Amino acid sequence: MNSATNRKREYLTKKVTAVAHANIALIKYWGKRSRPENLPAVGSISLALEALKTETTFQFVPGLEDDRCILDGKEMNDQQKGKVSDFLDILAGTSGRMKARVVSRNNFPTAAGLASSSSGFAALTKAAAYALQIEDNPVLLSKFARRGSGSAARSIPGGFSEMKIGSDMSGKKDFAVQLYDENYWDIRVLIALVSTDPKETGSTEGMIRTARTSPYFDSWVRASNNDLAEMREALKTKNFSRMGELAEYSCMKMHGLMMSSRPPLLYWNPVTLEMIQLIWSLRRQGLPIYFTIDAGPQVKVLCRPDHIQEVRKNLQSINGISTIIESKPGPDAYIKDVTNS
């Protein structure tokens, strides 16, 4: 990455549009080894979601005094814009860079625990790197995306991907690679939207709190390699129940870790719990379905294509679920369009 960041940048002033899909972790990332480089404390394995995507149009504008950042039709707030500007400084290798106009749109509610930062920073990385004429190399772009958000590193390769971690603080080995593409295994994710309010404690702050205060943090880190190896094997053998059981286990372990932080982090609400109990009850009755939950109340159900109707019917019996989004595995981040103005 250093040779790329140190190189003098040439700014392409074309309008570049990139698309990236959000991803959900099957083996979770929670905790950091180092903040400035955003190095994860544990590796993770994820699945990109075809149905959840961010489309970002990026353009360097000569003479612009400050970055202009629009998200879902509205100016970003200072915190969001600050993150984008800092990230662009990293990508350009200097804060004295040309300023840019960034127009980004999610096709799902932002900041509701649906991993919008994963697709958001991956789309931004892809588009801005093109405008900076950075080599289109997925490893390099994944490392850059990681600086914006750890989970975004996994939305660069898409499909079924694994975030690797290095043993030092250089960040050279902290990037995601694709294990299998989106056509490898036709599994489905049903995302039940429980609440679309922005969360109280963001992931970055939550992770720092957990690493500092949870008595279980060291054992979470120690068990990580084993969890990753088991998930790799479940994916390799396309063993659905093993994959689902492991995903649920990693999710529950992460939420236990969050709850054991001080003050505690509880991202669930009563509907989240009702869904967990429904999924377990349906499984006892023979329906092979599993769940995973990120830093929010939304429950994502992992199932096979032929069980979708039955899962939907059962989820509809729960009050408080506003929408159910169905997704297949999604692709890597890509450039959609480049135009002159």
- Give first-to-last CA distance, the chain, whole Å: 30
Number of other residues whose CB lies within 10 A of the CB of residue 187: 18
Tell which one of 38, 110, 119, 224 touches ligand DP6 (CB under 6 A). 38
Burial class (CB in 10 A: 0-12, 13-18, 19+), 12: middle
Contacting range for ligand DP6; rule: CB under 6 A; set: 66-74, 90-98, 199-207, 307-315:
199-207
Closest of 218, 167, 214 to residue 34, by C-alpha? 167
Q: Does 204 bind ligand DP6 (CB under 6 A)?
A: yes
Contacting range for ligand DP6; rule: CB under 6 A; set: 100-108, 203-211, 212-220, 319-327:
203-211
Tell which one of 31, 43, 109, 150 touches ligand DP6 (CB under 6 A). 150
| Token reading at 76 | 């970003």
**How far apart are CB 69 and ligand DP6 at their closest, in Å?**
17
Burial class (CB in 10 A: 0-12, 13-18, 19+), 272: buried
Q: Does 28 bind ligand DP6 (CB under 6 A)?
A: yes
**How far apart are CB 295 and ligand DP6 at their closest, in Å?**
4
> Which residues in the 93-122 window bind ligand DP6 by CB under 6 A?
115, 117
Q: Does 29 bind ligand DP6 (CB under 6 A)?
A: yes
**How far apart are CB 326 and ligand DP6 at their closest, in Å?**
20
**How far apart are CB 196 and ligand DP6 at their closest, in Å?**
17
Q: Quickly tell me which residue has 């490893």 as its tokens.
A: 139
**How far apart are CB 276 and ligand DP6 at their closest, in Å?**
16
Contacting range for ligand DP6; rule: CB under 6 A; set: 22-30, 86-94, 184-192, 276-284:
22-30
Q: Tell me the three-class secondary structure of 40-81, residue by residue.
A: ECCCEEEEEEEEEEEEEEEEECCCCCCCEEEECCEECCHHHH
Q: Does 25 bind ligand DP6 (CB under 6 A)?
A: yes
Could you tell me if 24 and 299 are in contact, meaning their C-beta atoms sit under 8 angstroms apart? no
Phi, psi of 216, rounded to the nearest 5 degrees: -100, 0
Q: Does 292 bind ligand DP6 (CB under 6 A)?
A: no
Could you tell me if 300 and 293 are in contact, meaning their C-beta atoms sit under 8 angstroms apart? yes
Contacting range for ligand DP6; rule: CB under 6 A; set: 14-22, 28-36, 51-59, 67-75:
28-36
Nearer to ligand DP6, 117 or 314 (CB): 117
Could you tell me if 32 and 208 are in contact, meaning their C-beta atoms sit under 8 angstroms apart? yes
Q: What does the binding site for ligand DP6 look like in residue numbers (CB under 6 A)?
A: 25, 28-30, 38, 44, 115, 117, 149-151, 203-204, 207, 294-295
